[in-house]
Chain A
Amino acid sequence: MKKQDINGAEALIYCLEKLGVEYIFGYSGGAAIPIFDAIITTGTKIKLILTRHEQGAAHIADGYARASGKPGVILVTSGPGAGNIVTGLMTAHMDSVPMIAITGQQIRPMLGLDAFQEADVFNITMPVTKHNYLILETNQLPEIVHEAFSIATTGRPGPVLIDIPKDVSSGPFTGSLEISASQVTAPKLATISAKTIKRTTDLLQIAQKPVILAGHGVLLADAQDQLRAVSKQFDVPVVTTLLGKGAVDETTPLAYGMLGMHGTAYANKAILEADLLLNIGSRFDDRIIGDGKSFGKDATIVHVDIDAAEMGKMIRPDIAIVADAKQFLTQLQATKQAANHQNWRVRLDGYRKQFPLGYSDEHGLTQQHILDSLNHITNGEAIVTTDVGQHQMWAAQFLKTKHANQWVTSGGAGTMGFGLPSAIGAQFACPDKPVVAIVGDGGFQMTLYELATAALHKLPIKIFVLNNHYLGMVRQWQELFYDNRLSGVDLEGNPDFVKLAESYGIKAFNIEKASKVDSIIQKVMAYNGPVLVNCEVAKTDNVYPMIPAGRAYTDMLTEAPTEKLEKPVGST
Chain B
Amino acid sequence: MKKDTDHTYILTLTVRNRPGVLVRCAQVFGRRGHNIEALAVTADINNRSFSAMTITAYGALETMNQIVAQLTKLVDVTNVTEEETL
A37 → chain B, closest Cβ, in Å?
A: 27
Say yes or no: A312 contacts B62, CB within 8 Å: yes
Is A309 a contact of B62 with CB atoms below 8 Å?
A: no
In-complex Cβ contact of B66 among A134, A136, A151, A313 (8 A): A313
CB neighbours of A311 from chain B (8 A): 69
Q: Which residues of B contact A134 (CB under 8 A)?
A: 19-20
Q: How many A-B residue pairs have CB under 8 A?
A: 35
In this complex, which of B19, B24, B75 has the most chain A Cβ atoms within 10 angstroms of its Cβ? B75
> Are the C-beta atoms of A130 and B75 separated by less than 8 Å?
yes
Using A122-B20, A123-B20, A126-B23 as known contacts, say yes or no to A309 and B72 having CB atoms under 8 A apart.
yes
**Cross-chain contact A126 with B75 (CB below 8 angstroms):** no
CB neighbours (8 Å) of A313 from chain B are 66, 69
- The answer, yes or no, to whether A541 is at the interface (CB within 8 Å) is no
Q: In the complex, what's the smallest C-beta–C-beta distance from A72 to chain B, in angstroms? A: 20
Return chain B residues, CB-CB under 8 Å to A123: 20, 23
Question: How near does chain B come to A315, taking the closest CB pair, in angstroms?
Answer: 12
Q: Which residue of B lies closest to A123 (CB)?
A: B23
Q: Which of B23, B31, B73, B75 contacts A309 (CB 8 A)?
A: B73
From B20, B65, B70, B72, give the contact of A126 (CB < 8 A). B20
Beta-carbon contact of A127 and B31 below 8 Å: yes
A147–B56 Cα distance when bound, in Å, is: 32
B27 part of interface (Cβ distance < 8 Å): yes
Number of residues of chain A lying within 8 A (CB) of chain B: 17
Tell me if A273 is interfacial: C-beta within 8 Å of chain B: no
Chain B residues 1-57 with CB under 8 Å of chain A are: 19-20, 23-24, 27, 31
Whether the pair A312, B75 counts as a contact (CB closer than 8 A) is no
User: With the chains together, A134 CA to B21 CA distance in Å?
Assistant: 12
Residue numbers in A under 8 Å from B66 (CB-CB): 309, 312-313
A131 contacts partner chain B, Cβ-Cβ < 8 Å: yes
Contacts of A136 in B (CB 8 A): 19
Are A309 and B27 in contact, with the CB atoms below 8 A?
no
Q: List, in ascending order, chain A residues with CB within 8 A of B19's CB.
A: 122, 134, 136
Query: In the complex, what residues of A have CB within 8 A of residue B76's CB?
Result: 131
Contacting residues, chain A, for B69 (C-beta < 8 A):
308-309, 311, 313
A307 interface contact, C-beta 8 A: yes
Q: Is residue A184 within 8 Å, beta carbon to beta carbon, of the partner chain? A: yes
A136 to B69, CA, bound (A): 30
* B62 near A126: Cβ-Cβ < 8 Å: no
| A132 to B66 alpha-carbon distance, docked (Å) | 22
Interfacial residues of chain A within 183-206, with CB under 8 A of chain B in the complex: 184
Nearest opposing residue in chain A for B76, CB measure: A131
Give the shortest distance, in Å, between A400 (CB) and chain B (any CB): 35
Q: Check A126 against B24 for contact (C-beta < 8 Å).
A: yes
Minimal Cβ-Cβ distance residue in A for B31: A127
**Known interface pairs A127-B31, A184-B75. Does A309 touch B70 (Cβ–Cβ under 8 Å)?**
yes
Residue from B23, B72, B75 within 8 A of A151 (CB atoms): B75
Bound CA–CA A309/B74 (angstroms):
11
Which residues in chain A, 122-149, are within 8 Å of chain B measured between CB atoms? 122-123, 126-127, 130-132, 134, 136
With the chains together, A125 CA to B52 CA distance in Å? 25
Shortest Cβ gap from B70 to chain A (Å): 5
Shortest distance in angstroms between A252's beta carbon and chain B's nearest beta carbon? 35
Interface residues of A in 109-124 (CB under 8 A from B): 122-123
By a CB distance below 8 angstroms, the chain A residues around B65 are: 312
Contact B27 A127 (CB under 8 A): yes
A131 touches B75 (CB 8 A): yes
- Bound-state CA distance A151–B74 (Å) is 11
Known pairs A311-B69, A313-B66. 11 more at Cβ < 8 A? Answer: A122-B20, A123-B20, A126-B24, A127-B27, A130-B75, A131-B76, A132-B20, A136-B19, A307-B73, A308-B73, A309-B66
Residues of A within 8 A of B (CB): 122-123, 126-127, 130-132, 134, 136, 151, 184, 307-309, 311-313
Provide a sorted-by-A list of 7 A–B residue pairs whose CB atoms are within 8 angstroms: A127-B31, A130-B75, A131-B74, A151-B75, A309-B70, A312-B66, A313-B69
